[in-house]
Chains A and B, each alone.
Chain A
Amino acid sequence: MRRLRLSGLALFFAASVAGAQERPYFVAYDHYLEEPGALELGFNPLYGSVDGGNDFVAGSIEVEYGATAWWTTELYLDGQHTENEGTVFTGFRWESRFRLLEREHAINPVLYIEYEDVNGADKVLAAIVGHDGASDFEEPNSETVKEIERELELKLILSSSVKGWNISENLITVKNLAGEPWEFGYAIGVSRPLALEASPEPCTACAENFVAGIELYGGLGDTEQFGLSGTSQYLAPVIAWHLPSAVTLKLSPVWGLNQNSLPFVLRFGFSIEFPNVGNP
């Protein structure tokens, strides 16, 4: 046990020589993958306000690894606590992202493939698809944990870098393997560092270490009823702070844009990166 603790401590300090450059977004993905051999540990809690239901706190622990320069893989463990209902583990998700083109282009496509095994109580809002909506959050945990959802999620990530700005568009489709219709969704993110040039001196709270932006995401229905009708839509400013110690902190207040959306969600993000774990 003592050896395990010391190893953990050694890993933590080893991280101080790596540069975290975690994406600022919570839902949208850009085309930048994890560096080969880099391991990132993250925790993304969120607070959700539910009209006519119990407020909740949900979160996912993520382990991300750069397998190669064109392949990043990631495991998420999800859970939530709902007011007056208790705490539940809601399942896991395993995803891989593949860079499709070798070099940088005006638009850079990345293929995202995820298998998820979660129950109906999952509230991490990792992606909004189909007719996901606020009413899903009003059902008690005692009922929703019985709904097992084994799903395959595919995303086409299109991302560009223009004069310091990142512009990312994600087209999302989810297939419940139990035979439900294909569901669709989208996420769009735009962000920019607060300063494009690095200062000559080491610094922590300087503008170059902050990235600010905005996300828009929501459902697009399913194969039986495609479109915005009955979907939920969200708008969310994001800010990320890259600390020199390979830690990234993120914050995003999220507002629902229609009556089918949760009125307000507050997201936090913490991640730390360890370089040279394994030798891909």
Chain B
Amino acid sequence: MRSAAPVVALTVLVLASTAATAGKKSETTAYAQLAHVPDDARNRVNPLETDPDAVKAGSKLYARHCANCHGAAGENGSKGPSLLVPEIQTASPGALFWVITNGNVRAGMPVWSKLPEPQRWQITTYLKSLGAVSQP
């Protein structure tokens, strides 16, 4: 029985920290992460902005990795916020790339640095193209 004590203590610790983080999650707005983007990251130029295949490749990657949370067309999904709002569509490509890379861990968005950098730029290009589509 003594041997189970560390495991029980660990479980209590994990549950307590989860509860604490859940409280913080509700305080964190979905788009707040954009305000934390450093200037040098915000000003980065998308190297694939003029690549004719980037939107289509980004669309494929978005469907595979992002649509589950943000919706099939970025309109607002089961967990993630809409990506068609002005906060996103007026953000610089560098800022979007930074948020994709770093996620918004407290709000539930994982880091996506597991995708190679060119693929994150392809997703960024696709996201910016959604704004063009939604304009009247």
Contacts and interface: CB of A to CB of B under 8 A. Distances in A.
Contact of A69 (B60, B65, B108): B108
B18 A71 contact: yes
A276 B122 CA distance: 24
A208 B115 CA distance: 10
B102 interface: yes
Contacts of A244: 64
Interface residues of A, number: 45
A173 B58 CA distance: 41
A47 to B, nearest CB: 29
Contact of B68 (A30, A150, A276): A276
Given A67-B18, A70-B105, A17 B6 contact: no
Contacts of A30: 114
- Which bracket fits the contact residues of B? 35 or more
A252 B47 CA distance: 35
Nearest to B55: A200
Tell me the interface secondary structure of chain B in the complex: helix
27 contacts: A18-B68, A33-B110, A35-B110, A37-B79, A68-B108, A69-B104, A70-B105, A71-B14, A103-B102, A113-B10, A115-B7, A115-B10, A150-B3, A166-B114, A196-B118, A197-B48, A197-B57, A197-B116, A197-B118, A198-B58, A198-B61, A200-B56, A201-B60, A202-B60, A276-B79, A279-B79, A280-B108
Given A96-B14, A196-B119, 7 more contacts: A19-B64, A32-B114, A66-B110, A69-B105, A103-B105, A178-B3, A276-B68
Interface of A: 17-19, 21, 30, 32-33, 35-37, 66-71, 96, 99, 102-104, 113, 115, 150, 152, 161, 163-164, 166, 177-178, 193, 196-202, 208, 244, 275-276, 279-280
Sort A-B residue pairs by CB-CB distance and give the 5 closest, nearest first: A19-B64, A200-B56, A196-B116, A177-B3, A200-B53
